[in-house]
Structure 1
Amino acid sequence: MVSLPIFIILIGVLVSISNLTTVPWNIEPTGQSMATLTDDTEVTFDNPSGETLPAKGTYEVTERYITLNMTGDGNLTKESGARGKANADGVQAIKVLIREPQNASGKRPGVVFMHGAGYGTCDNSFGDVASGMASAGFVTAVLDKPVWNTTDINRDYPASAKAYDQVIEYLRDQSDVDEAKVGIYATSESTWISSYLLEDDPDIAFQILLSPMVFSPRQSLGFFVTQDFTLVGANEGYQSIVQRVFSADTGLFGLNNFDLATLKPAAYAVPTYVAYGSKDVMTAQVDGVRAILYNAHKADNWNVTVRSYPVANHVLRLGDESEAGTPFADAYVDDLIDWAVGTSAGLTQTSEKVAGTNLYQSIGLPGALKARRVGTIYGVILHVTVVLLLLASIVLALVALGRKIAADARWRREKREAKHAGMLIPGRPVVLGFAHGFGNALLTLTLTTLATLLIFFAGLGQVIMGVVKLAWGSAPTETPGVMYWSWPVIQVVSVLVLWAWSRVFMHLIEVASVRGLIQIPPRRESVRDIVTGADPVLASTRLGRILFWLVAFTMLYILLVFAFWGLFIY
């Protein structure tokens, strides 16, 4: 039973790799909650003068546009740039939509809106909130997102902060704006940028944070994906993929945004309004509020208001965010406007600071996440190599197929000619010449391994689509399907394939032993017969032998990739 020790060695290697690449992972405590002081989200202030405060709809709103040209470091320039991206000189033309309350007396407070992930413009972003705040007496500015030639994974946050600050300075310079009362409205990704902004410009008057990420991108995204993999019904095994992906040392690829140190007291040193939705599946709300309060108090800021809205998603909308016209949750817009009006007027808040539905967090923040360079390098080499091996195997298989088709066509032609001439019909040509059933074994195990790989991609793809839909506000499916059963099926099939390969290798050893190839020195005539193809162990042609070993190595290498992702942890 030579196959058993071979199997033990192979399974031992794969199990060891799965365990060596395992990332320490702690998502405790689970099921955290934070009770609010009331479920009433209304924001009220003590108004001793009795003066009527503006509210949403008090003023008619006028609109106008300006364009600011900014270099890639966020500085203004006189050179005209390209809109939506940087021109050849790295200059982006950033269009800004200014909304102003019509016939409002005196100098008005201002708000600059900061984009979340993606590529928002001044025309398709924040229209309802910006108009609402302008109708309550604020001069609002919504700008094209400053992106230059970056993407979501390599965004220049310090430069973005400087770009937003240029718009803040523009508002401060306006004759109808009170320069001491210009604040920001930041959502999701931009709450990382706002941390840099407040550090650069401590004169920001106030901030409204919608679904703030609070923690570093590595921790925030690791939490978001880990939690959502569970919510969509994915098998627990797929969590090992999350662990390895979010332990990648992205600095090796010039991506340095994963470990931003944005959680600082300076980021919460001004009056702050924090809003969350109970259906937001992207933010660590309990840990986030605690961290915000801790850092704000450390900066001697006790003016922090937290509101949690039931049924609202990551952007405080009700329902699927991808559908046009999805409304905001309950009184969210009215509440934030009331807060901003009272805060800008310097009034004392009388409503509870923490209100709305109770905050809930299903898992703990994965605080131990960090970049793991060795694992990243190994993973990159492994995946690049398997792609190259697959391509080489496909090319060689196509070459073999082409030769087979050409040889068969030539043979059929020669056969017809021989029959017509009454001559002896030539033998069918041998292209690969597999012997002892090795060709059938190779085909069966290759198809099985590739089918397993497809199941893996199908399961992972369904998980990713489920997470995306969940993030947009859709409800998780009640029938997870392939993303649930695929993991254990792949584990079982991988072991069976490994056992089958050990049987193939055992048979190969047995045939070689009978030929006298394992003895020392090898039997000379057997070596000659193998080289000439007269009495092959594996295949009678060199092409057949090369194809077998290349494809066999590639299929085993795929199992090595499975081991990297934790599929050999039982």
Structure 2
Amino acid sequence: MNDVSNQEEHTAARPAQQERQISQQQTLGAWSRGHRLAVSVPIFIILLGMLVGVSHITAVSADIQPTGQTMAMLTGDTSVAFRTHAGSTLPTLNTYKVTQRYTTITAKRPSTGEIQKIRMLIREPKGAGANRPGVVFMHGAGYGTCDNSFGDVAYALSSAGFVTAVIDKPVWSTNDITRDYPASATIYDQAINYLRSLNQVNAKNVGIYATSESTWISSYLLQQDPKVAFQVLLSPMVFSPRQSLGFLASQDFTLVGAHSGYQSIVRRVFDMDGTMFGLKNFDLDIERPAAYRIPTFVAYGSKDVMTAQVEGTRKILDLAHQAGNWDVTIRSYPVANHVLRLGNEADAGTGFADDYVNDMVTWMVGTAAGLNQTSERAAGSTLYQSIAVPKDLHADRALTVYGAWVHLAMVVTLLLTLIVAAVALVKKIVFLVRRKGPALGFKYGFGGALLSLTITTLATLLLFGGGLGQVIMGIVQLAWGGAPAEDPGMMYWSWPVIQVVCTLVVWAWSRVFTRLIEVAQTRGIAQLPPRKGAINDVVSGREPVLASTRLARVLFWVTAFAMFHVLLFFAFWGLFLY
């Protein structure tokens, strides 16, 4: 009996003895500050090196030289004049009263067979007789209708003797980035043929009025229909969407005062391979001589921050000359914005700049009458272009695949972290209410470190979104003719702040991992061979390195994985380029 009693006492004392031995090992094995620093620095260098490497690998260079291009006009007088026959006069604005009526056409999308019922608003000069010229208006970006688009300019042309047609924009089930430009060209041509069929219209004298985005469509239209008689191109987008939009974003990021880091985002975006996501419009083949083989009137505004005016004009002239056409008139108007207005087009009563309407109507009338132009071909304010069109942008499939993976992985891991964190929060609340003690059981300050690093990283992500959002809002203001703010504010200082914070976060994570290694060593895991039973003690939670509960350990590693993907997200967009 005494032997059994002594054996039980010895067995009961064993856990206490093991705890004292482990405590002694921990005390004896605790690292000095210098030891911790010696381990932290290599980990920091490796982590930072990975992120810097990603930023350099995903960087996209774009040649935007030369900067500050200009093209002088032959005269500042934008008026248009023609040589008329003796005793004859040309109709001008308000020569005729205007009547209007609606009709409907069925727009069938050739690629899919999808049907859209489109209303068409016809304006006619009352009492003008037969053999009238016609004009079909082509919408820019957005979702314009026949009622809210081109009302003033269509009325002006009809008052000068033109039969005009404005249709609802053919969009079908597409959106701003999936527009079907060849199909749209077919429908606009359908509207042209409708005008040609009218008794009062000269079928050989129907032209188009295209603005902004629709100048991509007009290129397809003129290749499909060689009988279009003339065209007015308002702020034409001469180059492919990848090049035109890349230029627009690069220039406007600079104009609003955004940090150069945000400007580098533009190059990554427009080097994406959109075909992977069903986006086929980035590389439209629109630079064709056939698009400029007819008499052409090109108009720009000096406050237009969306078009490459100098290179665009040169390209139009080059393509027109290749097609044997020398009848190209260029007009540039000071103070006018992208839609040749003096302000936001959406605001009622916002008029056109200077004499644009008079000049354009006069050109249309004289051209439709087949007269010879006597005024200068290039007139108005000097054209200016801040940077070159980034023509070296191209579809990079590898960059696109990696970028998609980084963004998807970040979203998935953040959602998973949110779910696990919600479960942990519920458990913590239950434990607090029932006074059951620690719910998660984090050890050695890992819980507090995880919380602070997570909050810091996510706050940095929000700061990045806020800075980029301010840049976008500044560009929208520019597009409507506004002036950039004198102090760019967050869109400038947020980038270097994020860079500093990201570097500090990487350093903090290296310290956390160093602490993990230190505790693992004191537990007898980080040695060869591991202390007998050490791994089982850690896995079972009897002698934890991170936390005493499995939920806490899962929360730590899931969160750490998610925060690493946030850092990879920052690296992809160039925040680790110093």
Pick the TM interval, shorter chain: over 0.9
1:14 to 51, 57, 60: 51
Are the counterparts in 2 of residues 322 and 472 from structure 1 also a CA contact under 8 Å?
A: no
Q: Residues of 2 paired with 1:276 and 1:505: CA distance? A: 59
Deviation (angstroms), 1:271 = 0.2
Q: Match for residue 419 of structure 1?
A: none
Are the counterparts in 2 of residues 431 and 543 from structure 1 also a CA contact under 8 Å?
A: no
Q: Residues of 1 paired with 2:455 and 2:104: CA distance? A: 59
Deviation (angstroms), 1:356 = 0.3
Are the counterparts in 1 of residues 107 and 187 from structure 2 also a CA contact under 8 Å?
A: yes
Q: How does 1:84-483 map to 2 (within 5 A)?
A: 90-411=114-435, 428-483=436-491
Deviation (angstroms), 1:552 = 1.1
- Letter in structure 2 aligned against 1:39: G
1:526 to 534, 537, 557: 534
- Letter in structure 2 aligned against 1:268: Y
SS of match in other structure, 1:198: helix
Are the counterparts in 1 of residues 130 and 199 from structure 2 also a CA contact under 8 Å?
A: no
- Letter in structure 2 aligned against 1:113: F
Q: Residues of 2 paired with 1:259 and 1:392: CA distance? A: 37
Q: Residues of 2 paired with 1:511 and 1:360: CA distance? A: 64
SS of match in other structure, 1:94: strand
Q: Match for residue 512 of structure 1?
A: 520
Q: Match for residue 23 of structure 1?
A: 60
- Letter in structure 1 aligned against 2:363: W
Bigger Rg, which one: 2
Are the counterparts in 2 of residues 7 and 499 from structure 1 also a CA contact under 8 Å?
A: yes
Are the counterparts in 1 of residues 73 and 380 from structure 2 also a CA contact under 8 Å?
A: yes
Are the counterparts in 2 of residues 112 and 183 from structure 1 also a CA contact under 8 Å?
A: yes
SS of match in other structure, 1:197: helix
- Bigger CA drift: 516-525 or 299-308? 516-525
Deviation (angstroms), 1:149 = 1.1
- Letter in structure 2 aligned against 1:566: G
Deviation (angstroms), 1:556 = 1.6
Q: Match for residue 5 of structure 1?
A: 42
Deviating above 6 A after TM superposition, structure 1's stretches of 4 or more consecutive aligned residues are: none
- Bigger CA drift: 549-558 or 392-401? 549-558
SS of match in other structure, 2:533: helix
Q: Residues of 1 paired with 2:557 and 2:274: CA distance? A: 35
Q: Match for residue 24 of structure 2?
A: none
Deviation (angstroms), 1:472 = 1.6
Q: Residues of 1 paired with 2:129 and 2:75: CA distance? A: 36
Are the counterparts in 1 of residues 109 and 115 from structure 2 also a CA contact under 8 Å?
A: yes
Deviation (angstroms), 1:516 = 1.1
Q: Match for residue 415 of structure 1?
A: none
Deviation (angstroms), 1:477 = 1.1
- Bigger CA drift: 274-283 or 551-560? 551-560
Deviation (angstroms), 1:530 = 1.8
Q: Match for residue 108 of structure 2?
A: 71
Q: Residues of 2 paired with 1:402 and 1:525: CA distance? A: 33
Gaps in structure 1 of 5+ consecutive residues? 75-85, 412-427
Deviation (angstroms), 1:442 = 0.7
Q: Match for residue 34 of structure 2?
A: none
Q: Match for residue 81 of structure 2?
A: 44
Deviation (angstroms), 1:509 = 0.6
1:54 to 83, 87, 91: 91
Deviation (angstroms), 1:139 = 0.4
Q: Deviations over 1:307-332 (max 9, x none)?
A: 00000000000023342221100110
Deviation (angstroms), 1:223 = 0.3
Are the counterparts in 2 of residues 108 and 177 from structure 1 also a CA contact under 8 Å?
A: yes
Q: Deviations over 1:112-164 (max 9, x none)?
A: 00000111111110000000000000000001111111111111111110100
1:485 to 493, 501, 511: 493
Aligned residues: 541
- Letter in structure 2 aligned against 1:334: N
Q: Residues of 2 paired with 1:171 and 1:15: CA distance? A: 61
Q: Deviations over 1:330-368 (max 9, x none)?
A: 110110000010011111101000000000000000000
- Letter in structure 1 aligned against 2:476: V
Deviation (angstroms), 1:244 = 0.6
User: Is 1:559 matched up with 2:567?
Assistant: yes
- Letter in structure 1 aligned against 2:153: V
Q: Residues of 2 paired with 1:321 and 1:392: CA distance? A: 46
Deviation (angstroms), 1:263 = 0.8
Q: Deviations over 1:36-75 (max 9, x none)?
A: 001110000111333110001100001011101121129x
Gaps in structure 2 of 5+ consecutive residues? 1-37
SS of match in other structure, 2:379: strand
Are the counterparts in 2 of residues 275 and 306 from structure 1 also a CA contact under 8 Å?
A: yes
Q: Match for residue 499 of structure 1?
A: 507
- Bigger CA drift: 545-554 or 273-282? 545-554
Deviation (angstroms), 1:406 = 1.4
Q: Residues of 1 paired with 2:67 and 2:43: CA distance? A: 43
- Bigger CA drift: 27-36 or 531-540? 531-540
- Letter in structure 1 aligned against 2:497: V
Q: Deviations over 1:193-230 (max 9, x none)?
A: 00000000011000000000000000000000110011
Q: Residues of 2 paired with 1:202 and 1:490: CA distance? A: 55
SS of match in other structure, 1:516: coil
TM-score by length of 2: 0.92
Deviation (angstroms), 1:380 = 0.5
Are the counterparts in 2 of residues 320 and 474 from structure 1 also a CA contact under 8 Å?
A: no
Are the counterparts in 1 of residues 80 and 359 from structure 2 also a CA contact under 8 Å?
A: yes
- Letter in structure 1 aligned against 2:514: M
Deviation (angstroms), 1:379 = 0.5
